[in-house]
Chain A
Amino acid sequence: MSEVLCAENITQRFGGLDALKNVTMHVNEGEIIGVIGPNGAGKTTLFNCITGMYCPTEGKVSMLGTDITGWKPYEITAHGFARTFQNIRLFPKMTVLDNVMVGMHVQTKLSAREWFLPGKAKIAMDTAIGRAEELLKLFGLYENRFEMATSLPYGDQRKVEIVRALAIQPKLLLLDEPAAGMNGAETEELGKLVHDLRNMGNTILLIEHDMRFVMNICDRLYVLNDGALIADGTPEEIRTNPIVIEAYLGKDE
């Protein structure tokens, strides 16, 4: 099994604040990994470091053995990491289908030779539209594909973001709180979908607050608190880990 993602000793400093302190983690191919932790623990910051939105102050990020530290977000995406955003960032003036089509950008790239073959570009785009429609069917959004993306209910918008990220055909899919704002039934359905995605060969790293969701679907978990990694292991191990319990209970008090 190869390591799709490996982050070593990541530290991210914002002025005087250490949002991440010496965090080391990795994701193997085919795994579903969860990142949990209280609000402000640094989970989104970790995603931003992995996907190039921030360049970590210290540490190294690698994708399948390639050092990608300091790469630009678009380079990292083109190389194989795709993400969703905690505060949904769909393209507001586009339909659902076109949002997904933007995600096809990397896949529809033509090689220098294909550029000069007439009709190639059209074939690539048509294939992409077909693929986008298949993905939307999988998520039950096919009927809505010509609606404006931001006019959909919140939960569906999150799904569109996931589809858009899947369109990139990433080696690793990073989901930032995919179930946020969903009701119980929707969350359960999403859990099934994430499972299906793994069975289809995807590797997934996700941030989530919903404990039941995380415990049910993740193979391993990383627990962040105050920017530091305080525990990692299987859901079972995490559930009974006294340090984790304290971190969560401590916050609740």
Chain B
Amino acid sequence: MIEKLSTWLVRYKRTLLIITALLAVLFPWIFSSKYVLRIAILCLMYCMLCVSLNLMAGVLGQISFGHAAFWGIGAYTAAILSKNYGWNGIAALLMAAVIAGLFGLLLSLPVMHLKGYYFTIVTMVFCQIIRVIEINWMSLTNGPLGIMAIPKLSFFGVTLKSQRAYFYVILFLLAAATFIVRKIIHSRMGYAILAIRDDELAAGAMGIHVFKYKVYAIVISSMLAGAAGCFYSLYTSYIDPSCFTNAISNNILVMVIFGGLGNIFGSFFGATVLTILPEVLRGFSEYRQLVYGALLVVLMLVRPDGLFGSVNFKYIEQRLAWKKEKAGGDGHE
């Protein structure tokens, strides 16, 4: 069924993209409720986090239970820079990405020779350590109290206050992040990273500098998460260490796995469904977690790769085009 759906998605790709883009742009005018917009904004931010984690976990194949750490580092960087030093939004965004990227580098260098589960465990501990630092480095992070009254985003003297404005900001950031990750996947670097995921030794035998490309993927992935963090702190105006826990890391990873490792569309899907679902289930209060959990268990039983994990849209597209070309060729003969 998913295969059929995927083929359908590919076949009507252009139309669907245009419709989605239109809906996205019009969304804040269709729904003006503050609550709905807030959920939509968080949803888009989670999409961005998932797309960035997917680069590390799905494309490179290094499962990370610590992605919220990079998100938090970005959030704290932006909060401190804009509150204490009066940096503007764009500068804070770039710096948040750079600092998160540096931590990504720091994390990736020593663990690069660790395989599989070891890396995963290190990411888990990394997230803990970052949180402990956030709690205890009072002078910088204001400890468990968090940072309050972070200045709102402003462009050229205009301060963004409405939900609508933030919706468009995160929509743009998500589009940019998706564009970057897509570009990478379809480039020479993407082939190298995917080859490393499939077979490290064979990748090395193809002349691929395995170490270098692993670092690239991890650093870019953490930079994008840092950028999402910057958005988060400027949007909510308040962050504290409890925003960036291991539990949140797990949630992001669950979204990515739910949608399917390595599939960007899957990440969108996973993030959207798993952000909206808990809200929809709010009415059921006590059964909420149960339904949520049951859904995940069923999915993992039926599709262990996640919904779109075994789907490769590029390949479907190539096969469709090839089929068409062959049919067309036969027609002329």
Residues of A within 8 A of B (CB): 51, 53, 72-74, 77-78, 82-83, 85, 89-95, 97-98, 101-106, 108-109, 121, 124-125, 146, 164, 168
Contact A73 B204 (CB under 8 A): yes
Contact B209 A91 (CB under 8 A): no
Question: Once bound together, how far apart are the Cα atoms of A95 and B322, in whole Å?
Answer: 14
* CB neighbours of B322 from chain A (8 A): 146
**Choice from B198, B312, B318, B319 contacting A91 with Cβ under 8 Å:** B198
Contact A106 B199 (CB under 8 A): no
Of B8-16, B187-195, B228-236, B241-249, which binds chain A?
B187-195
7 A–B contacts, CB within 8 A, in A order:
A73-B205, A77-B207, A92-B198, A92-B199, A93-B198, A98-B191, A125-B187
With contacts A121-B187, A125-B187 taken as known, whether A164 is within 8 angstroms of B194 at the C-beta atoms is: no
Question: Once bound together, how far apart are the Cα atoms of A109 and B208, in whole Å?
Answer: 11
* CB neighbours of B197 from chain A (8 A): 93
Question: Once bound together, how far apart are the Cα atoms of A72 and B194, in whole Å?
Answer: 20
* Residue B160 interfacial (CB < 8 Å): no
* CB neighbours of A108 from chain B (8 A): 188
Q: Quick one: closest A residue to B195, CB to CB?
A: A102
Contact A74 B209 (CB under 8 A): yes
* Residue B315 interfacial (CB < 8 Å): yes
Contact A74 B192 (CB under 8 A): no
Question: Once bound together, how far apart are the Cα atoms of A160 and B216, in whole Å?
Answer: 28
Contact B204 A72 (CB under 8 A): yes
Question: Once bound together, how far apart are the Cα atoms of A124 and B191, in whole Å?
Answer: 14
* CB neighbours of A102 from chain B (8 A): 191-192, 194-195, 203, 206, 208
Question: Once bound together, how far apart are the Cα atoms of A83 and B206, in whole Å?
Answer: 9
* CB neighbours of B191 from chain A (8 A): 98, 101-102, 104-105
**Choice from B187, B198, B204, B319 contacting A74 with Cβ under 8 Å:** B204
Residues of B within 8 A of A (CB): 187-188, 191-192, 194-195, 197-199, 201-210, 262, 312, 315, 318-319, 322
* CB neighbours of A51 from chain B (8 A): 205
Question: Once bound together, how far apart are the Cα atoms of A97 and B322, in whole Å?
Answer: 13
Contact A94 B194 (CB under 8 A): yes
A78 to B: closest C-beta gap in Å: 4
Contact B202 A85 (CB under 8 A): yes
Contact B206 A94 (CB under 8 A): no
A169 to B: closest C-beta gap in Å: 11
A81 to B: closest C-beta gap in Å: 9
Q: Quick one: closest B residue to A93, CB to CB?
A: B198
A229 to B: closest C-beta gap in Å: 25
Contact A91 B188 (CB under 8 A): no
**Choice from B194, B201, B312, B319 contacting A89 with Cβ under 8 Å:** B201
B58 to A: closest C-beta gap in Å: 11
Contact A146 B198 (CB under 8 A): no
* CB neighbours of B202 from chain A (8 A): 85, 89-91
Q: Quick one: closest B residue to A72, CB to CB?
A: B204
* CB neighbours of A82 from chain B (8 A): 205
* CB neighbours of B318 from chain A (8 A): 95, 97, 146
Contact B194 A83 (CB under 8 A): no
Contact B206 A164 (CB under 8 A): yes
With contacts A91-B198, A93-B198 taken as known, whether A105 is within 8 angstroms of B206 at the C-beta atoms is: yes
Q: Quick one: closest A residue to B312, CB to CB?
A: A93
Contact B208 A74 (CB under 8 A): yes
Q: Quick one: closest B residue to A91, CB to CB?
A: B198
* CB neighbours of A109 from chain B (8 A): 188
Question: Once bound together, how far apart are the Cα atoms of A164 and B198, in whole Å?
Answer: 15
Which of the listed residues B192, B197, B198, B201 has the most CB atoms from chain A within 10 Å of its own CB? Answer: B198
* CB neighbours of B319 from chain A (8 A): 146
* CB neighbours of B312 from chain A (8 A): 93
Contact B205 A124 (CB under 8 A): no
Q: Quick one: closest B residue to A125, CB to CB?
A: B188
